[in-house]
């Protein structure tokens, strides 16, 4: 064999050897796949946390905008929007029965629509339905007034927390059309949600398609019910309220104004939520910031300020700031001292 032939043979042998050893064995391929899987499993929680942080920031901004809208309303009219319109004349409090509730039962959000850049929606609402100065005898429940009812089907992204499960409008969903606090006795109050029956319709449309909200005004311990032991901790929003910022004598940085509500969850499914037209103010006496799923009736969650954010809930304060409150904080401070606007309690570190 000549030198040239030997060179050609060696090059061909090297090429064949390279080709034989250039691929992965099955074991090597499985190891690579396992490593990639581990990296993905480590990366996914970080991605999910980043997404939740972004949603939480958006929720915080929503509450900020809601608080600013309330301040703009107060600057225009001299008082914050009313908690809700129901029976009685000033200053008769909430001494009404569940069977005798009259009035429109509209909440503060309809008043603030122009400050949400939603003037076209506001202009379609019957103003008699949202006026706290109109006799409730001339008001009908807002679900019975055609133009107001139509406006209520508008979905407002500002009023929905981005972390809220996108559960939309399945046939089993109930939507509360009013939240009412009334006096039960000299020392107790009752909070009731007027829920639409499953498959009910309003003006020919399914009630479950009403525009919903993830937020509500803070009524304090039990709103204003003409019971001194309860009214000490009344919040800025209650029946036909006209609260001025100067009425918040505890200090605007020590008083809750709006907070997150999650609704009634059963077996990890949204069962009952609230329409923004009739979502008035939520009381604190049933507890707050529970953000777990509940089995059974779900009432423990429906009547609480609650949040889809892990371990906390967002609240807007009367100074315009928005803060997260841990589920592990002192609940007495949250339910009473921070939710009341003129209780004179000293709020320390929380």
pLDDT at 312: 85
* Distance (Å, whole) CA 318 – CA 313: 16
Residue 91 pLDDT? 44
H or E element that contains 216:
strand 215-218
Phi, psi of 189 (to 5 degrees): -135, 160
Tokens of 156: 């407002």
Judge whether residue 262 has pLDDT over 90: no
User: pLDDT value at position 9?
Assistant: 45
Q: How confident is the model at residue 267 (pLDDT cuts 50, 70, 90)?
A: low
Specify which residues 234 forms β-bridges with. Answer: 220
The CA R_g of the chain, rounded to the nearest whole Å, is: 28
The rounded distance, in Å, linking the Cα atoms of 283 and 286 is 7
Q: Are 73 and 80 in contact (CB under 8 A)?
A: yes
Peptide bond into 91 cis (omega under 30): yes
**pLDDT the model gives residue 3:** 54
Q: In what order do the strands lie in the sheet with 189-195?
A: 189-195, 174-183, 269-274, 264-266
- pLDDT per residue as tens digits for the range 78-112: 999 999 887 655 444 555 555 566 788 899 999 99
Q: What's the rounded Cα separation, in Å, for the pair 40 and 307?
A: 29
Q: Are 258 and 220 in contact (CB under 8 A)?
A: no
pTM across the whole model: 0.82
């Amino acid at each position: 064999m000549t030198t040239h032939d030997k060179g050609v043979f060696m090059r061909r042998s090297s090429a064949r050897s390279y080709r034989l050893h250039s691929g992965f064995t099955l074991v090597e391929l499985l190891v690579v796949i396992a490593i990639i899987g581990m990296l993905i499993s480590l990366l996914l929680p970080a991605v999910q946390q980043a997404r939740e942080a972004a949603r939480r920031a958006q929720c915080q901004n929503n509450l900020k905008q809601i608080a600013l809208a309330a301040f703009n309303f107060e600057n225009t009219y001299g008082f914050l929007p009313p908690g809700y319109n129901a029976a009685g004349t000033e200053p008769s409090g909430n001494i009404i029965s569940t069977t005798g509730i009259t009035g429109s039962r509209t909440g503060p959000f309809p008043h603030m629509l122009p400050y949400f850049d939603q003037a076209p929606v506001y202009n379609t609402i019957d103003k008699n339905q949202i006026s706290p100065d109109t006799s409730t005898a001339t008001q009908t429940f807002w679900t019975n007034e055609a133009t107001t009812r139509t406006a209520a089907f508008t979905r407002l992204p500002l009023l929905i927390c981005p972390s809220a499960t996108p559960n939309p409008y399945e046939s089993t969903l109930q939507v509360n059309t009013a939240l009412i606090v009334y006096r039960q006795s000299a020392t107790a109050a009752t909070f009731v949600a007027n829920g639409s029956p499953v498959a009910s319709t309003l003006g020919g449309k399914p009630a479950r398609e009403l525009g919903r909200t993830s937020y509500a005004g803070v009524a304090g311990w039990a709103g204003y019910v003409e019971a001194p032991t309860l009214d000490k901790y009344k919040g800025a929003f209650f029946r036909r309220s006209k609260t001025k910022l100067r009425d918040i004598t505890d200090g605007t940085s020590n008083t809750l104004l709006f907070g997150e509500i999650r609704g009634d969850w059963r077996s990890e499914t949204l069962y009952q939520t609230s329409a923004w037209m009739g979502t008035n103010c939520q009381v604190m006496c049933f507890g707050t910031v529970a953000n777990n799923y509940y089995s059974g009736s779900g009432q423990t969650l429906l009547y609480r300020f609650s949040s889809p954010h892990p371990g906390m809930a967002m609240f807007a304060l009367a100074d315009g700031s928005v803060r997260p409150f841990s589920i592990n904080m002192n609940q007495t401070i949250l339910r009473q001292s921070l939710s009341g606007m003129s209780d004179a309690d000293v709020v320390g570190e929380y």
